[in-house]
Amino acid sequence: MIAGFTNAVARPAGGDVAYSIGGPEGGAPVLLLHGFPQTRAMWGHVAPALAAAGHRVICADMRGYGDSWKPDAIADYSFRNMGAEMLALMQGLGFARFDLVGHDRGARCAHRMALDAPDRVRSLAVMDIVPTHLLLSQLTRQVAAAYYHWFFLAQPAPFPETLIGADPDYYFESCLLGWGAARLADFDAGQLAAYRAAWRDADTIRGMCNDYRAALGPDMDDDAADHAARLACPTLALYGANGVMAREYDMHAVWAARCHELHTQALPGGHFFPDTAPGDTAAALAAFLDA
């Protein structure tokens, strides 16, 4: 799945978590978490570059996605529960403390992990998000129009699952292109094939919908309880220069209010810049991690 990496499965909580691992065994560990509607295959070019720079790189499929398990309960998809599973995965691999990188849903999970376990997360890099509580509690019509999928996917089952299941490629590719400021030709053919293989599975469609259902329920409750908390670790906020987040938010101001030490950087492209500009993404991450 990722060149030079070993694929494995662990069971840190109630089900299987698929992951790929590579890089020198003595390298500083870094966990990479993908977003919607992707899998760990999205790191196919970024992860090897970080491994070549001396990092021990772990790329995991979050629950509900890819080859990882898809529990039934919506509460199982809260970022707190998904984050706890990733923390347990890293502990089981022998990494008590590690650097953490996330894109999209993976970035939201990573944000929660850094808040819940500040002693475990050495540094945090979030890609093309603003905090969930901010997005939902101060929703503008422009963001609502661009990110309509949050509310469609969160509708009760089996409504979104049924509509998406009629043509998964059409729906999920519309997500990659509609608010991603990209073309299909911008995506690596092998990575796109991995995404398609995953999202054509009915259980994966259900899992991804439950991820968004949790965002409007337990995630908002968790975030409301500590929405003023500041991240203790060094934080990097990357965002697509042509994406919705850059257009609708002052990304530096948003994250500066929530971090003790912040670095921000715009990268070429829209929301899916780790796919469409992997070299720039890897270079930005390597510079931050090495610093």
C-alpha 22/C-alpha 3 separation (Å) is: 9
Position of tokens 């203790």?
A: 232
| Gap between the Cα atoms of 238 and 45, Å rounded | 17
Helix (H) or strand (E) holding 225: helix 220-225
For the record, the structure tokens of 227 come out as: 């929405």
Please state at what angle helix 189-199 crosses helix 168-178, rounded to 10 degrees. 130
What is the CB neighbour count within 10 angstroms for residue 233? 17
User: Among residues 104, 211, 219, 222, which one is catalytic?
Assistant: 104
149 is catalytic: no
Q: Which residue is listed with tokens 């992990």?
A: 113
- In sign, the C-alpha dihedral spanning 68, 33, 182, 251 is positive
**Cα-based torsion angle of the residue sequence 3, 36, 131, 63 in order, rounded to the nearest 10 degrees:** -80
Which of 61, 223, 271, 280 is an active site residue?
271
Looking up tokens 């970024």 gives: 46
271 is catalytic: yes
Which residue type is seen at 187?
F
Active site residues: 104, 271
